[in-house]
């Protein structure tokens, strides 16, 4: 395909993918399968790599992510991003409406909208293309998060249709839907990390991640509700939003126009209950004067517009009795106290258990067995105990003493400095930790041995067949056939019997054999090294290529890898210092498990950089640091982590640490830009 053909095909693919993105993420009405969509996107990615000069800044491939942002630049808002006045009572709504009529005296129409519980964002478009995305910040200025916002599939990078202003800003809320939040927290727990408390915190944390490819995986979403400015070609706020919907923005289907106070109150009462049926969080209702001319007449206070008010829902809260506390052991050994409650209806579901997180929370609440406790759902999802009804406390109840020994194996617990959780250090002999590590090893994103799910790991462990992941590869037909176990009935589930018949055993052995083809990065993730999740595993493998190189790395070499901090590095070093773990790796290698990055291209392209040593630092426009390092090695050069008098060149990108630059200048080490480096290769 020549350049002209590629340009035409890129234009066709881009328009088609934008259409499918809009139908899937905004309209919820897809017309192609996920597979067909992925094929279109992969074709566009291939063409843009082959013809990089044809890639547009608003290409749909931007929504896959890949850009790195080390520091988020502060940007002053063109129009201040004010907050809304809050109220929790209908009386305040009456007062608000009376003030409106006193000030403008006309008949007033209102627009009632859901108040999304997320992160406020302002998007600027010029000539129909997204130019900038800025957070609320302090209302005067916020952070430029354009690179990360471009990964959100429901946000148009190029607007549909016509009729939009040449330049305008639209404001809204970035949210994390419940499904994405649940999936993210499951992943964090699997990686040995603390789960996010609620979707809002998770959305905020996601938006400030440095790697936009990781932001893309978080599946953020966004709703838009306001166009600031005086040059809009519309008479009402409602018309603005209907027009924005036609341009491709995700506008709430739940906004309504109200003419009377009673209509407003009906809307409030409807959503106070119906909010629990939504797939995302809201924490109230926003009431706005619809007419833009009237908005201008009403004006603003120093902090908020006079033409709008926010009605906040009270978090639904119930009291129930604390019956007992269980202490659960996770696969990393972390001990989590879980409160068993007298069943109570809360926010549309029956709550029987609530996490107390850790010993510090128990102490701060001073909660005791038999107490009547206040329970609400954090972020409307996670039940949590927020307090105790002390007036109804029984006489002299005993304080809850956090356990000192593991409830499963009896090993004394320990807690590292700076951490809130207590841990059982007996990772080789504590049953929940052993089974948890095995279940993590076989999970879909790790070795993907799905034939071993549904409680089969527990059967293998109880029969003494597996104690670590390497034992799985010693299983035989004879050792498995005939095994069975009946899981007792619980309040939520019926009794279930699992039997290892011929077909079951054959599926298990086939699944284990197939796992030998799983790539090295997933194997590394499957090992369950604390803090080494999917992303960290990929970064390590793309940097070191093989298990041997990773095992030989010291603390400084590990920290040199993108996004690897000292905490992760020390965890990796600790894991590889265990002879038990080394023996497991030896056994896995002998069974044919992939412990090398097979995708690595070891072809030597030239000797242009032979004898030269490079330090690569900063963020680059066209390559990641790891790609540049591989390019250096492919042309005969050598990468080193720190600058010395023997360093040949410092390859410097944006946001490079000033100390490295000063040291290079002091030692007269040449400093090359990305363009300088590419010219060096072309000479």
Could you give the residue numbers annotated as active site? 115
Closest to 206 in 3D by CA, of 194, 224, 219: 219
Tokens linked to 624: 């990641």
Residue with tokens 């029956």, as numbered in its chain: 350
Tokens linked to 31: 């017309």
How would you list the strands of the sheet with 671-672, edge to edge?
638-639, 613-617, 649-652, 671-672
| Residue 249 per-residue DSSP state | -
Cβ pair 69, 212 in contact under 8 A:
yes
| Residue 486 per-residue DSSP state | E
The b-or-e profile of 297-306 (16+ CB within 10 A means b, else e) is ebeeeeebbb
> CA–CA separation, 69 vs 211, rounded Å?
7
Beta bridge partners of 116: 282
Closest to 669 in 3D by CA, of 652, 653, 640, 645: 645
Closest to 37 in 3D by CA, of 55, 54, 25: 25
Cβ pair 540, 560 in contact under 8 A:
no
Q: Is the dihedral of CA 112, 116, 119, 124 positive or negative?
A: negative
| HEC letters along 172-203 | EEEECCHHHHHHHHHHHHHCCCCCCCCHHHHH
Q: CB neighbours of 460 closer than 8 A, spacing ≥ 6?
A: 438, 452, 466, 475, 483
> CA–CA separation, 627 vs 567, rounded Å?
25
DSSP per residue, 515-547: GGGS-HHHHHHHTT-TT--HHHHHHHHHHH-BH
Closest to 653 in 3D by CA, of 631, 675, 637: 675
Nearest 5°: the CA angle 460, 571, 530 is 40
């Amino acid at each position: 395909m020549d350049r002209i053909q590629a340009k035409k095909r890129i234009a066709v693919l881009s328009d088609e993918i934008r259409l499918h993105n809009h139908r899937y993420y905004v309209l919820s009405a897809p017309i192609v399968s996920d597979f067909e969509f992925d094929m279109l996107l992969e074709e566009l990615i291939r063409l843009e790599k082959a013809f990089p000069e044809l890639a547009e800044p608003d290409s749909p491939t931007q929504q896959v992510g890949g850009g790195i942002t080390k520091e988020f630049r502060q940007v002053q808002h063109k129009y201040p991003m004010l907050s809304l006045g809050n109220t929790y009572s209908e009386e305040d709504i009456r007062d608000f409406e009376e003030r409106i009529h006193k000030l403008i005296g006309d008949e007033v129409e209102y627009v009632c909208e859901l108040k999304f519980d997320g992160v406020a964002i302002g998007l600027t478009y010029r000539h129909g293309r997204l130019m900038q995305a800025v957070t609320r910040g302090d209302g005067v200025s916020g952070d430029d998060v354009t690179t990360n916002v471009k990964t959100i599939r429901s946000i148009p990078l190029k607007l549909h249709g016509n009729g939009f202003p040449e330049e305008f800003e639209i404001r809204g809320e970035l949210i994390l839907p419940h499904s994405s939040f649940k999936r993210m927290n499951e992943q964090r727990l699997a990686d040995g990390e603390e789960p996010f408390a609620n979707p809002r915190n998770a959305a905020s944390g996601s938006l400030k991640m440095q790697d936009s490819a990781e932001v893309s995986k978080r599946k953020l979403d966004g709703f838009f509700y306001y166009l600031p400015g005086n040059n809009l070609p519309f008479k009402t706020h409602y018309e603005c939003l209907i027009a924005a919907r036609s341009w491709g923005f995700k506008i709430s289907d739940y906004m309504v126009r109200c003419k009377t106070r009673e209509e407003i109150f009906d809307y409030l009462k409807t959503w106070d209950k119906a909010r629990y049926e939504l797939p995302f969080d809201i924490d109230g209702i926003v009431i706005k004067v619809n007419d833009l001319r009237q908005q201008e007449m009403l004006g603003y206070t120093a902090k908020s517009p006079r033409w709008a008010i926010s009605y906040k829902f009270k978090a639904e809260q119930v009291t129930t009795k604390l019956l007992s506390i269980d202490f659960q052991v996770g696969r990393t050994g972390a001990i989590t106290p879980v409160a068993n409650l007298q069943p109570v209806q809360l926010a549309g579901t029956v709550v029987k258990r609530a996490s107390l997180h850790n010993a510090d929370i128990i102490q701060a609440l001073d909660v005791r067995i038999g107490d009547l406790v206040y329970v609400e759902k954090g972020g409307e999802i996670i039940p949590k105990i927020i307090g105790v009804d002390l007036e109804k406390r029984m006489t002299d109840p005993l304080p809850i003493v956090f356990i000192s020994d593991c409830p499963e194996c009896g090993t004394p617990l320990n807690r590292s400095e700076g951490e809130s959780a207590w841990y059982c250090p007996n990772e080789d002999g504590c049953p929940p930790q052993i089974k948890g590590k095995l279940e993590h090893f076989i999970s879909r994103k790790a070795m993907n041995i799905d034939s071993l799910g549904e409680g089969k790991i527990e059967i293998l462990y109880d029969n003494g067949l597996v104690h670590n992941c390497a034992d799985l590869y010693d299983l035989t037909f004879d050792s498995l056939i005939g095994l069975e176990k009946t899981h007792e009935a619980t309040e939520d589930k019926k009794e279930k019997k699992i039997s290892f018949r011929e077909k079951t055993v054959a599926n298990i052995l086939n699944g284990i054999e197939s796992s030998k083809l799983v790539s090295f990065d997933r194997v590394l993730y499957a090992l369950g090294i604390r803090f080494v999740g999917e992303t960290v595993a990929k970064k390590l493998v793309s940097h070191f290529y093989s298990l041997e190189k990773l095992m030989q790395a010291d603390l400084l070499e590990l920290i040199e890898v993108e996004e690897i901090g000292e905490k992760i590095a020390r965890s990796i070093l600790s894991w590889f210092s265990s002879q038990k773990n080394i023996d497991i790796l030896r056994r896995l290698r002998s069974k044919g498990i992939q412990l090398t990055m097979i995708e690595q291209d070891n072809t030597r392209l030239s000797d242009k950089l032979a004898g030269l040593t490079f330090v690569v630092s900063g963020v680059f426009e066209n390559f990641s640091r790891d790609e540049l390092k591989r390019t250096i090695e492919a042309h005969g050069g050598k990468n080193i982590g720190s600058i010395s008098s023997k360093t040949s060149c410092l390859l410097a990108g944006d946001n490079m640490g000033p100390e490295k630059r000063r040291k290079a200048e002091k030692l007269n080490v040449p400093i090359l830009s990305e363009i300088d480096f590419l010219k060096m290769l072309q000479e």
